[in-house]
Chain A
Amino acid sequence: MRKKHALAVAALAATAALTLSSCGGDKADSGTTPVTDVSTAPADKAATVLDRPFEKPDLVLTDTRGKKYDLRERTKGKPTLIYFGYTNCPDVCPLTMSNIAIAYKKLPQADRDKLQVVFVTTDPERDTPKALGTWLKGAGDPAFTGLTGDFPTIQAGARQIGIGIDPPKKEKDGTVVSMHGAQVVAFSPKTDAGYVLYSEDTTADDYTKDLPALIEGDNP
């Protein structure tokens, strides 16, 4: 008896749910076509070429193998992309690294050998070398460099190239609020200066288009 009545209730509830959702209209097409019209016109170019390039930051940190990594020394004369983010970031950080990775994988091997992609954590307490390494493999490419260290050093390095980051802050409910850098900065192999910025809206196609020029140190 008990079972039967449970079933009856469930059936009615299901009917109710169906009635409700059927009135919702076009929700069946979820995922394929966004209904939102994108009113903002897409910018012509993803890249912002700086009139006054940044000097490469003097950053000495720890890589994903736990080894000391001197950014200036290791990337000298090599095209380099630098991005500041954190692994407990479900959206923008993996999106940015994945977009770069897609473009990276399309490059000929010789270019891939030249291009250095460096991800610097903004959340060093949680992003240990090991955690960073695992994440970078999934979000980006095993060839990418992941760096961690103490926060003030990372923050000072970011500031040198115009990227403002605040330390992770613990909220009252225990969650940690971290932040990612606003831009990816591209450094020229010719001058070692940071001369092009990419916002988080930059797509894999944009990077695919621009990387060959960046690898030569040319303007995209």
Chain B
Amino acid sequence: MNRRRTALSTATALAAALALAGCSSGGDAPELSVSGAFMPQPVMDDMAAGFLTVKNDGDTADKLTSVTSDIAGEVQIHETKDQKMRQVASFDVPANGSLDLERGGNHMMFLKLKKKPRQGDTVTVELHFEKAGSVKAELPVKEPTHNPDKQ
């Protein structure tokens, strides 16, 4: 019984903490929102890329430190520089700014896909931030050439 109460109160505390982190506006927490998310239908059976924008309306910068998804054994975050992509430990989400993952640039790379996403599917990811915690995002799977900046 004791154990149960502890678990419950932990959960309640967690809920409170999360609610706080999510809602405090104008304080010193990052205020993150995700938009423009998509995954181009991949060519390979085991590898895909994902793109989105994280907007930060808060006065505090944050960092995207990792991404997880139930469709992939691993999701890496990559920067593209001089036609090379390289895994990075984190991406900055500047205060009152945004982190843009876009085609030809920084992106999420999904590895060890459990199932090949097809156009029309939706892929769910969890973005893990240093300060804001985890934020879920849904990536609609688009045609292989989808590139919102070009449309």
Tell me if B87 counts as interface (CB < 8 A to partner A). yes
Q: Tell me the chain B residues, 41-56 only, with Cβ under 8 Å from chain A.
A: 42-44, 47-49, 52-53, 55
A30 and B34 contacting across the interface, CB-CB below 8 Å: yes
CB distance from A162 to the nearest CB of B (A): 13
Q: Does A201 contact B (CB under 8 A)?
A: yes
Chain A interface size range: 35 or more
Contact A90 B37 (CB under 8 A): no
Interface residue stretch chosen among A17-25, A48-56, A188-196: A17-25
A36-74 at interface with B (beta carbon < 8 Å)? 36, 38
CA gap between A31 and B122 in the complex, in Å:
10
Q: Is B36 an interface residue (CB 8 A)?
A: yes
Which residues of the other chain, B, contact A179 by a CB distance below 8 angstroms? 82-84
- Evaluate contact between B4 and A27: CB separation under 8 angstroms: no
The CA-CA distance from A9 to B102 in the complex, in Å, is 37
In the assembled complex, the Cα of A26 lies from the Cα of B32 at a distance in Å of 10
Separation of A34 and B150 alpha carbons in the complex (Å):
11
Chain A residues lying within 8 Å of B4, measured Cβ to Cβ, are 1, 5
- Given A27-B35, A29-B35, A35-B53, CB of A175 within 8 Å of CB of B87: yes
CB distance B36 to A30 under 8 Å?
yes
Decide if A90 touches B47 in the complex (CB within 8 Å). yes
Least CB distance, A37 to chain B, in whole angstroms: 10
Which residues on the B side are within 8 Å of A27 (C-beta)?
A: 33-35, 135, 137
Q: State whether A25 touches B33 (Cβ < 8 A).
A: yes
B85 touches A89 (CB 8 A): yes
Q: Which of A1, A5, A33 has the most CB of B within 10 A?
A: A5
* Cβ of B143 to closest chain A Cβ, rounded Å: 8
Q: Which of B79-95 contact A (CB under 8 A)?
A: 80, 82-87
Which residue of B is nearest A165, CB measured?
A: B83
Q: By the criterion CB–CB under 8 Å, are A91 and B150 in contact?
A: no
Given A21-B136, A27-B137, decide whether A95 and B103 contact each other with a Cβ distance below 8 A.
yes
Give A36 to B30 CA distance when docked, in angstroms.
18
Contact of B83 among A1, A171, A180 (CB under 8 A): A180
- Which residues of A are at the interface with B, using a C-beta cutoff of 8 A? 1, 5, 8-9, 12-13, 15-17, 19-27, 29-31, 33-36, 38, 87-92, 94-95, 98-99, 102, 135, 138-139, 165-166, 171, 173, 175, 177-182, 200-201, 203-204
* Chain A to chain B: the 4 pairs with minimum beta-carbon distance, closest first: A34-B36, A90-B49, A16-B15, A20-B22
Q: List 20 A-B contacts (CB under 8 A).
A: A12-B14, A13-B14, A13-B15, A17-B18, A19-B23, A21-B135, A21-B136, A30-B35, A34-B53, A34-B149, A36-B53, A36-B100, A88-B47, A90-B110, A98-B43, A102-B145, A139-B43, A171-B86, A177-B86, A182-B83
